[in-house]
Amino acid sequence: MPPKTYKYKLVSGEDFGKAALETLQEAFDKARTYPLVVLPTGNTPKPLYAAWRQTRAIPYDFRYVNLDQYRGIKFSDPRSYPLEIKREVLDPLNQRLDEELIFDGNSDPKNQADKVETALKIEQGIDICILGIGQNGHIGFNEPYSEFNSRTRSVQLTHNTIEANKRHCEAHGGVPKDALTLGLGTIMEAKKIILLSNKPEITVKALHGRIMSKIPASILQRHPDVTVVGTPMVSAQLRLAR
């Protein structure tokens, strides 16, 4: 029998940040107290974070889990993803950073990956995992052909991702070639996944095409509780594909 697939819930709205915040608020309302929450970086989640800071609509404390981080850079490097989250979300919302749940890009990568996996196990897993999607279908830094059951680990970035991320890194020494990322298997164990997307083509492929490791995000079709928050363009294309 083929593995089961599930229908995702689609949320859209003219105001992407507001739609994403309402979705997250609902997830917080259903989650346990002090949930473990994965927060992505990049351009896509910016409207969500801006709305969250502004309205403070989610009054609960949470524990931030780092999705991915470049290797060979310090926490304080301008390219650092957890630093971005600290600045954009944690500090404004008075949340503290837990060293056990973030990657130190400058330490031994295997130790860092194991540290986060162990912390997730001890803390009984991710409650809410918010994701963006890369142009090539990556989630976190799980690049095409990542194993669907992969765990948290060090990975090499593809040419496509290095090119796409130049806009964030060019002024600060370029895009590192390696990174740490939560694995696809690790992400799939999250109780709730919220996929934020402003990229119609790859999102339709990932959610309506064949489930294949060439498009890592396609594994989300096998997660029982995914909500997709799309920009109006993404939502329109997803509705056509349904």
Active-site residues, by number, are: 68, 136, 138, 143
User: Exposure string (b/e) for 78-114, b if CB count within 10 Å is 16 or more?
Assistant: ebbbbbbbbebbbeebebebeeebbbbbeeebeebbe
Interface pattern 116-145 for ligand GLP (x via CB under 6 A): ----------------xxx-----xx----
Interface pattern 83-112 for ligand GLP (x via CB under 6 A): ------------------------------
Q: Is there a contact between 76 and 87 (Cβ–Cβ < 8 Å)?
A: no
d(CA 103, CA 84): 13
Question: Residue 26 Cβ, how far from ligand GLP at the closest point, in Å?
Answer: 21
Interface pattern 57-76 for ligand GLP (x via CB under 6 A): ----------xx--------
d(CA 30, CA 181): 26
Question: Is 183 a binder of ligand GLP (CB under 6 A)?
Answer: no
Question: Is 176 a binder of ligand GLP (CB under 6 A)?
Answer: no
Question: Is 216 a binder of ligand GLP (CB under 6 A)?
Answer: no
* Residue with Cβ nearer ligand GLP (52 or 141): 141
Which residue of 165, 186, 218, 237 would you call a contact of ligand GLP, by CB under 6 A? Answer: 165
Encoded tokens for 47: 């409207």
Q: Is there a contact between 118 and 110 (Cβ–Cβ < 8 Å)?
A: no
Name residue 9's beta-bridge partners.
Answer: 227
Encoded tokens for 163: 């090119």
- Residue 188 three-state SS: helix
Question: In angstroms, how far apart are the furthest CA atoms of the chain?
Answer: 51
Mark the segment that binds ligand GLP (CB under 6 A) among 9-17, 42-50, 121-129, 147-155.
Answer: 42-50
Q: Which spans of this chain sit near ligand GLP (rule: CB under 6 A)?
A: 40, 42-44, 67-68, 132-134, 140-141, 161, 165
